[in-house]
Structure 1
Amino acid sequence: MTKPSLFVEVHILQSLPPSNINRDDSGTPKQALYGGARRARVSSQAWKRATRIQFAQSEEPADRATRTKRIASLLAARLASPTDKGGAGLDGADADRLAAALLEPLGITKSSKKEEQSAYLLFFGKRQLDSLITLLDGRAGEFLALPEKELKEKVAGLDVISALSTGHPAEVALFGRMVADLPALNVDAAVQVAHALSTHAVRTEFDYYTAVDDENSEDNGAGMIGTVEFNSSTLYRYAVLGVHQLRENLSSDASTRTSAVRFIDAFARSMPTGHQNSFAHRTLPHLVLITVRTDQPVNLVSAFEEPIAGHAGLAAESAVRLADELTATGQTWGSDPDCKLATYALDADKLADAFGPSHAFPALLDEVDHLVGAWLADGQLPQTATEPDGAR
């Protein structure tokens, strides 16, 4: 019997000081018009990359993924490494030739501007390069002895596409891969990330700065003058993880369970790095709310369609508004989450009514691990998932 879908949603409220973490082509912090008010915006792409970088920090280097146009040079370098380290011990020219032949079935063409790069970015696991080398079965010299036409025919008999279509690292399984020219390499993403929006209206401000020339003793003028645009905001961030899709992309229940928990941890702790040296903007969330559903995901951004006025602090008012939206959505649509877990440091009785008690974040992750494990085991969610710490 096929298991039902399982969606683990992450709702975050997080305040940023003056910062410019995600700018447009003119250097202005990205914005969006929502509910008739100008909002601070951080693109989903920016926060997905920040999450992926955070996620990779706890991965072994060999188990990480990379997104690059340089797959040919990476594969050639692996072929040139010694055999006792998993390579083929080839010299540079032979490694380049064999790498090009192995990648030809993938339709990876050279960039018109840079010969050493492919025409598009490819997202893959570093261990998947080892799988390509394994296909040679120690016969690299035999392959290289063939003339070009016969080499291509020989490589065509290898299951090169399968080597990059199986054994995905967690990062590829989570964030997916799309290759328009070769759909067989596509991986459906298990994660969707919304553009982060401020819960209130924002106004762009300008930091006028000067830099002093330390070796200038002739006058008192600045060595450099400029401006940086910035804003400050309380953001609503939302992501949803389809555990059923993650399990399909990975090789085991254990890796699915671990990757689900680590994704939530990475998403909550991650931060885009734009202008970070100028603003030191790294903060942690006021609130992390996990809602678990088996029907469909529900983004609660409608809570902020009317912008928060901020009479008693933006974060506290935003949290109460989010609690109201969660309750109203359940009552109106009959679509309450199957489980709710929350971590928050805001003093509001109404939050406990809507979100349940606040768990320390490590305890929240333990609860997520428990409920995902239970669902993977028998397709059921544990009734204890929303109980406070120590209840189980």
Structure 2
Amino acid sequence: MYMDIYAIQNVPPSNINRDETGNPKTALYGGFLRSRVSSQAWKQSMRHTFCERMGKDHVGKRTKNAVQEIVDAMLDHRPDCDEEKASKYVTLIFKAIGVKTKPSKRAGAASGKPATDYLIYLANTEIDQLALLALEWMDQGKKTAQKPDSDMQNTVEDIFHNEQAVDIALFGRMLADAPDLNTDASAQVAHAISVDAIRPEYDFFTAKDDCSENDNAGAAMMDSVGFNSSTLYRYANVNLTALCEQLDDIEVASKAASVFAEAFIRSMPSGKQNSYGNRTLPETCIVVFRDNQPINAVEAFEKPVRPSEDKSISQIASLRLIEELHRIEKAYDEKPKHAWVTSTIVSSDDLESDEQLVSLTALINQVGAETKNELKQCEQNR
């Protein structure tokens, strides 16, 4: 069972996702320049909603300072524990699965302490269980300089396999030095692109020194920054069956599906928000359940949308998306099992009889309820 999520979202002048030059990211599509927001930027923003809605026991942390995170958890369990000694046992844990650590050279509190070469995604429950394991090895007097044996390796791997976080199950985890502990992502998030062709623009600005002499009329600084405005087409899907298998809990998987839908719809990457105040909600959101394959309907916008006298770009794009989904359904016999629409500019007359126009709250609740029903049905059919 797959969940497809589509959104049409108008964004005013903004620079929410910058490239290496500091300008908004773009892409060529259909032969025209489009605004683009990377999937990585939007997923990072979505993860904040997971923490709020799911609770810390169901989410994780992505960091190079995993050693220190586990040491801090050891100190929470045993405040009188020697921090330097604890760090050596955590390093032994990572050595058991082949992950190398070395003293951090970055400035800050963790400078000089062991860190991994790359970002590691750890569930909060994994951090806690690994901390308890390190304390156990410390009590047993295991030698931190020794080469970990197979039993030690298996113990650490069991923790990684048994303690699964929702955001890791959804977005995946890759450990280059321990591929057996990798987690395949059950969600796919497309780069958002504008339905309309855009033209890069630049804002020249100055700043005055509040403490300068009264006779100094010049600016203390001058600079320019790129921006654009656009209406974005956004798409993501979740393999609900795979998500349930990874979490091994229908209730948690059902809640995760509804939280994913809410997070996708409500989130906004934070780039330069204080400068542009570009926080918007989508004009139209469509959530569809399919039992065959996920379907991205981006081809609806291969030809850029242009406004008309009586319809905005967002309204035309919303209607074009709905029409494209109907065409796909008829041409490929892809009749969805469920379909919900939340929109400020689309009416029920624009939908087919089995498509429900609902509020966002109702959509989120129904996604959770139908995910639970479908997963239970899948379990009974095995």
**What is the TM-score with the length of structure 1 in the denominator?**
0.89
Written as runs of structure 1 = structure 2, the 5 A alignment for 1:258-273 is: 258-273=255-270
Q: Measure how far apart 1:64 and its partner are.
A: 2.9
Cross-structure match for 2:67: 72
Please name the residue that 2:377 is paired with.
378
User: Is it true that 1:26 corresponds to 2:24 in the alignment?
Assistant: no
Q: Secondary structure at the match of 2:5?
A: strand
> Distance in 2 between the 1:298 and 1:117 partners?
40
Choose from 155, 160, 183 the match for 1:159: 155
Is the CA contact (8 Å cut-off) linking 1:80 and 1:90 kept in structure 2?
yes
Report deviation, 1:347.
4.4
Q: Determine the structure 2 residue equivalent to 1:118.
A: 116
CA distance in 2, matches of 1:154, 1:241: 36
The equivalent residue for 1:3 is: none
Could you list the runs of 5+ residues in structure 2 that have no partner in the other structure? 106-111
Q: How does 1:311-390 map to 2 (within 5 A)?
A: 311=308, 312-348=311-347, 351-353=350-352, 356-379=355-378
Q: Is the 8 A contact 1:326 1:354 kept in 2?
A: no
Q: Shift of the alpha carbon at 1:140? A: 2.1
**Aligned counterparts of 1:102 and 1:122: Cα–Cα separation in 2:** 14
1:188 and 1:63 map into 2 onto residues whose CA distance is 17
Q: Which runs of 5+ in 1 are unaligned?
A: 1-5, 381-392
Find the partner of 2:180 among 179, 184, 187: 184
Deviation digits for residues 341-378 of structure 1, max 9, x if unmatched?
Answer: 11011145653238834201111112112211111212
Say whether the 8 Å CA contact 1:209–1:227 is kept in structure 2: yes
Q: Is the 8 A contact 1:112 1:119 kept in 2?
A: no
- The letter of the residue matching 2:60 is A
Counterparts of 2:52 and 2:159 in 1: how far apart (Å)? Answer: 25
Match of 1:336, as an amino acid? K
Matches within 5 A, 1:215-364: 215-217=211-213, 218-311=215-308, 312-348=311-347, 351-353=350-352, 356-364=355-363
Superposed displacement of residue 158, structure 1: 5.4
Letter in 2 for 1:57: E
Counterpart-to-counterpart distance in 1, 2:44 and 2:362: 26
For this pair of structures, how many residues does the alignment match? 370
Structure-1 residue corresponding to 2:47: 52
Q: Which residue is equivalent to 1:143?
A: 141
Name which of structure 1's ranges 131-140 and 331-340 shifts more when overlaid on structure 2: 131-140
AA at the equivalent of 1:101: L
Cα pair 1:167 1:251 within 8 Å, conserved: no
Partner SS, residue 340 of structure 2: strand
Shift of the 355–22 alpha-carbon distance from structure 1 to 2, 3 Å rule, reads farther
Residue 133 of structure 1 is matched in structure 2 by 131
TM-superposed CA distance for 1:208, in Å, is 1.1
Residues 63 and 335 of structure 1: CA distance in aligned 2, closer, same or farther (over 3 Å): closer
Supply the distance in 2 between the matched residues of 1:143 and 1:309 (Cα, whole angstroms): 71
Q: 3-state SS of the aligned residue for 2:288? A: strand
The code of the aligned residue for 2:339 comes to K
1:131 deviation in Å?
Answer: 1.5
Matched, 1:97 2:98: no
1-side partners of 2:305 and 2:229: how far apart?
14
Pair 1:357–1:378, CA change in 2 (3 A): closer
What's the CA shift string for 1:214-262, capped at 9, x where partnerless?
A: 0012411111111111001110100001001101110311111111111
Is the Cα contact below 8 Å between 1:173 and 1:250 reproduced in 2?
yes
Match of 1:81 among 42, 59, 76: 76
Give, in whole Å, the separation in 1 of the partners of 2:160 and 2:365: 33
| CA-to-aligned-CA distance 1:163-199 (integer Å, 9 cap, x gap) | 1122211111111111232111111111000010100
Measure the CA separation in 2 of the matches of 1:14 and 1:170: 26
Greater shift, 112-121 or 289-298, is seen at: 112-121
In structure 2, C-alpha distance between the alignment counterparts of 1:66 and 1:157, rounded to whole Å: 22
Percent identity (aligned): 33
Partner of 2:35: 40
Give the secondary structure class of the aligned counterpart of 1:353.
Answer: coil
1:37-65 deviation per Cα after TM superposition (whole angstroms, max 9, x unaligned): 10001011111111112222234335431
- SS of equivalent residue, structure 2 residue 366: helix
**Mapped partners of 2:116, 2:307: distance in 1:** 50
RMSD: 2.2
Following superposition, the deviation at residue 110 of structure 1 comes to 2.6
Contact 1:165–1:184 (8 Å) recurs in 2: no
Contact kept in structure 2, 1:135 and 1:158, CA below 8 Å: no
Alpha-carbon distance, 1:126 to partner: 1.4
Question: For the residues of structure 1 that align with 2:4 and 2:348, how far apart are their CA atoms?
Answer: 23
What is the CA–CA distance in structure 1 between the aligned matches of 2:193 and 2:306, rounded to whole Å?
15
